[in-house]
């Protein structure tokens, strides 16, 4: 049986065209040809990152040997930070270049499990996670990390604090000015549903805050100055109103501490959220 999925109109998130049908060979019963293609791309995904990492280390050692041949020991040691920065820059630019050649610019898509798009996407992610992400790790919390993620395709505004490397379809992430994406947060621009990959945009507006190890799924929007608490999950399709605070899995609005005590107690006793999203939007 073919897999069925609804296709959303990109410019009108609330409208759907209907469903598209994927063949059984693309979801549950792949052909031998698809097995061979996946084996070839997966072999590249396993081997290429290791080869690139090894090449980087060899280049670093070779550069240090060259410096030592022409400079004193102390001068060579003093040049190690500069050489490390050069190696980090090369790793980021190499990962960004491979991403541009292999995948180009990411757009919202719906793809079956057994398709070259998914395998090539995993290849790009494997290279990013093994070369660019380790180079970005010491730079987190600085403007250099934002620069590196921009090279990968992320749309990031000015004066943004980034303390995570957990991005995938980079072009689909939009982060506004003065936002904060804190330690270990996951910017998840795709999900697999019944062997079908669905990828979409997400927006973190100006001044919004994503807590430590929180997860923001695709097709979401965090409004101006909104906040997502640590270890929380913003489910796909949800919108956080401006200047609101949310927590939990899935998210619910934090209590308004300015409410009278009896209102708060009544809300706890009835189990009703302090405010629904519709009420907040109103």
In tens, the pLDDT along 192-220 reads 988 899 999 999 999 999 999 999 999 99
* Whole-structure pTM value: 0.78
Distance between CA atoms of residues 61 and 83, nearest Å: 10
Provide the domain limits for residue 29.
Answer: 3-281
Q: Are 139 and 51 in contact (CB under 8 A)?
A: no
192 phi-psi bin (left φ>0, alpha ψ -120 to 50, beta other): beta
pLDDT of 254 reads 87
Asked whether the predicted pLDDT for residue 157 surpasses 90, the reply is: yes
Looking at the structure of the chain, the number of domains it has is 1
**For the domain that residue 110 is a member of, what is the CATH number?**
2.160.10.10
Please state, for a pLDDT cut of 90, what percent of the chain lies above it: 62
- Greater confidence (265 vs 75) lies with 75
**257 falls in which pLDDT band (50, 70, 90)?**
low
The count of residues in the chain is 282
Q: What is the pLDDT of residue 20?
A: 56
Taking Cα atoms as reference points, which of 149, 210, 213 lies closest to residue 184? 213
Q: Which two tokens stand for residue 41?
A: 């791309």
Could you write out the DSSP letters of every residue in the chain?
--EEEEEEETTEEEEEEEEEEE-GGGTTS--HHHHHHHHHHHHHHHHHHHHHHHHHHHHHHHHHHHHHHHS-HHHHHHTHHHHHHHHHHHHHHHHHHHHHHHT-S---EEEESSSHHHHHHHHHHHHIIIIIHHHHGGGTTSHHHHHHHHHHT-EE-SS-EE---EESSGGGEEE-TT-EE-TT-EE--EEESSSEEEE--EEE-TT-EE-TT-EE-SSEEEPTT-EE-TT-EE-TT-EEPTT-EEETTTTEEPP-TTS-HHHHHHHHHHT--SS-HHHHH-
CA distance 131 to 136: 9
């Amino acid at each position: 049986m073919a897999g069925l999925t609804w296709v959303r109109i990109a410019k009108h998130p609330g409208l759907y065209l209907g469903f598209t049908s994927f063949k059984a060979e693309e979801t549950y019963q792949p052909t031998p040809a698809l097995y061979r293609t996946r084996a070839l791309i997966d072999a590249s995904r396993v081997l290429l990152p290791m080869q690139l990492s090894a090449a980087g280390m060899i280049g670093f050692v070779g550069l240090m040997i060259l410096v030592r041949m022409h400079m004193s020991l102390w001068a060579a040691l003093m040049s190690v930070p500069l050489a490390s920065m050069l190696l980090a820059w090369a790793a980021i630019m190499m990962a960004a270049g491979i991403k541009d050649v292999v995948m180009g610019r990411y757009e919202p898509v719906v793809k079956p499990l057994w398709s070259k798009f998914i395998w090539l996407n995993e290849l790009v992610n494997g290279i990013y996670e093994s070369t660019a992400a380790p180079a970005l790790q010491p730079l987190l919390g600085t403007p250099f990390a934002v620069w590196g993620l921009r090279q990968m395709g992320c749309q990031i505004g000015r004066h943004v604090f980034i303390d995570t490397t957990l991005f995938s379809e980079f072009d689909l992430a939009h982060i506004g000015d003065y936002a904060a994406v804190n330690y270990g947060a996951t910017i998840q621009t795709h999900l697999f549903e019944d062997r079908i990959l669905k990828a979409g945009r997400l927006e973190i507006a100006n001044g919004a805050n994503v807590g430590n190890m929180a997860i923001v799924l695709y097709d979401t929007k965090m409004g101006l100055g909104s906040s997502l608490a640590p270890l929380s999950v913003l489910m796909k399709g949800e919108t956080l109103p401006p200047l609101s605070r949310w927590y939990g899995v899935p998210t619910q609005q934090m209590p308004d501490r300015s409410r009278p005590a009896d209102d708060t107690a009544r809300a706890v006793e009835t189990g009703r959220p302090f405010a629904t999203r519709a009420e907040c939007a109103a």
